[in-house]
A and B are shown apart, each in its own frame.
Chain A
Amino acid sequence: MNKVMDIKNFYFTYAKAPKPSLKNINLPIYENKVTALIGPSGCGKSTLLRSLNRIHDLYPGNKYEGEVLLKDLKTEEMENILEYKKENELINLRQRVGMIFQKPTPFPMSIYDNISYGLKLMGKKNKSELEDKVEEALKDAALWEEVKDRLKDDARGLSGGQQQRLCIARAIAVEPEVLLMDEPTSALDPISTIAIEELVAKLKDRVTIAIVTHNMQQASRISDYTAFMYLGELIEYGSTEQIFLNPKEKRTADYIAGKFG
């Protein structure tokens, strides 16, 4: 099995915080698998996820230590993304590592423009190529049938679940290697949640997924690997089956059993 990302001895400190929020994290992300990050609120799982595309860099003063390696597709070598300094390196990173947020974030533009936005940022201008890619992304995100007749409509007119699938379509249109999902269903109703979960299962053939979730059933349903975090540390990591059925650590067992959280 190939690692597409590898987090080694990773520390993260927020601006002006006296202590690091993430301590000594070691975590592999395997290719074409779904890795779930679980743990109680404030354990640092979102902070970790947001380090993987360096979105923390939007706010000054945040500090990374250690290594976060990402496989270069051409050379098969692992590159440390924490060494990126130039803006275009970060842009390139974010095109390779896409992100889905807690709340759907359709841009204030049409459905078509939302999906083609990332492609246009990459410099693709050919109209028929863009149209093909938009259709493909919408089909992959199981949204095509619902929106094919109103691609020119404002994306904010869609329902919450449709908006979230739109965001996923937008992210996969640029064909990232890794897709980060930060509690993507926490603002959605149960039916939309199921749609997103099915989508995750379908997409993992093409893209590696790391997902933060509060919902343990969701983690057990959709992930291949699970990492349990607590107070900024990685307590336990293993296959989802092992974590849920035979946790080695007592805190993992207690959390999964619902004794705290």
Chain B
Amino acid sequence: MEAIFKKLSALSATTILLILSAIFVVLFIYAKPAVQKYGIHFLVDPRWDVSVSLNKNSANNTPNTVNKNMSDNNLNSAPIGENDADVLAALGETNTQSSNNTETIYGGLVPIVGTILSTILAMFFAVPIAMGISIFLAEIAGPKLSKPVGIAIELLAAIPSIIYGMWGLFYFGPFVSHLFGGSSVSLLVAGLVLGIMIIPFMSSLTRDSMNTTPEVLKESAYAMGATKFEVIKDVIFPYAKQGIIGSMILALGRALGETMAVAFVIGGVFTFPKKIIDPTVSIPVVLANNFAESSGISLSALFYLALILFVLSFIVISFAKFYFLRNKK
């Protein structure tokens, strides 16, 4: 019995490692054609689904009219990601059919930049607010207030992301564009919606780790003559540092991979955002919008993007784990 139990639990533990490596292997196998074709240049190439004439060797300087058309089209048409995908696919098809002398180029720079920028925006927006909420709940509000508010925040964390996306598209996006100008789907709206999504998550985890500070440790800081602010800053935050950073990393991971909410509000356009209020696209949104219509090298390019997202989240989390949490005592 004892031996079976041990083996079962060991098996469960290894399963997760197996799944992780299996995912990586599958991503890599499917991405391989694109990896071989575009190589590391994929990471810095801003062109996506752009036809390039094979006769001209100066591929980089080719004026990509198709791309321009597409982006204009997207701006004018309804800003929902699904439509963009159709437009993209349609344009791509007609183009490849019309001339055999061209090659379609896929590059990941725009979605990579979009993913990173929208995540950074979300964190900038969410971290201060989430910290404020958790300080209030853990230290300032009395139990009569902090319990119901705490439960409300946990419920908020459980709302499916598509609801945030719908709310962002129909209410929050127009509101933001009214305030800051620009289109109602943009990098800014995506960052803010992402931020709002991760606030409850981050603040409830941060509050939990702040609550692990022993009462007597706080008392002894007060007994030194510290004020509430000083106790929070000098004792509770340092004590709960690991948990707080952990909550930020989890939230960051969620923001990086968030698909549905972002697909609604980022615009789904393959252009660099010149301003924060311009629409762009992120990796998960590209994947969700284009999978159905893709095959061959374009499918492989999507897997290449997925692989990049996988590695990106992996790097972020391991960096945080080894850098911030190394002074484990």
Contacts and interface: CB of A to CB of B under 8 A. Distances in A.
A107 B222 CA distance: 12
Interface in A189-217: none
Interface centre among A53, A107, A157, A170 (most CB of B within 10 A): A107
Given A105-B217, A107-B217, A53 B223 contact: yes
Given A87-B227, A108-B239, A60 B142 contact: yes
Interface string A83-120: 00001000110110011011101011100000001100
Contacts of A157: 329
Contact of B220 (A87, A95, A99, A154): A99
Nearest to B224: A118
A58 interface: yes
Nearest to A167: B220
Interface centre among A58, A105, A121, A122 (most CB of B within 10 A): A105
A107 B221 contact: yes
Interface residues of B, number: 22
B238 interface: yes
A257 interface: no
B219 interface: yes
A23 interface: no
A81 to B, nearest CB: 14
B155 interface: no
Given A101-B216, A101-B219, A91 B225 contact: yes
Interface string B175-219: 000000000000000000000000000000000000000101111
Interface in A67-88: 87
Interface string A166-189: 010011001000000000000000
Contact of B222 (A92, A94, A117): A94
B224 A174 contact: yes
A169 to B, nearest CB: 12
A156 interface: yes
A170 B219 contact: no
B223 A94 contact: yes
Contacts of A174: 224-225
A118 B216 contact: no
Interface in A104-143: 105, 107-109, 117-118, 121-122
Interface string B220-247: 1111111100100011001101000000
30 contacts: A53-B223, A55-B222, A58-B222, A91-B226, A91-B227, A94-B222, A94-B223, A94-B224, A95-B224, A95-B225, A99-B219, A99-B223, A101-B219, A101-B220, A101-B223, A103-B216, A105-B219, A107-B217, A107-B234, A107-B235, A108-B235, A108-B239, A117-B234, A121-B224, A121-B226, A121-B230, A154-B329, A157-B329, A171-B223, A174-B224
Given A99-B219, A103-B216, A107-B234, 18 more contacts: A58-B218, A94-B222, A94-B223, A95-B224, A95-B225, A101-B219, A101-B220, A109-B238, A117-B224, A117-B234, A121-B224, A121-B225, A121-B226, A154-B329, A156-B329, A157-B329, A170-B224, A174-B225
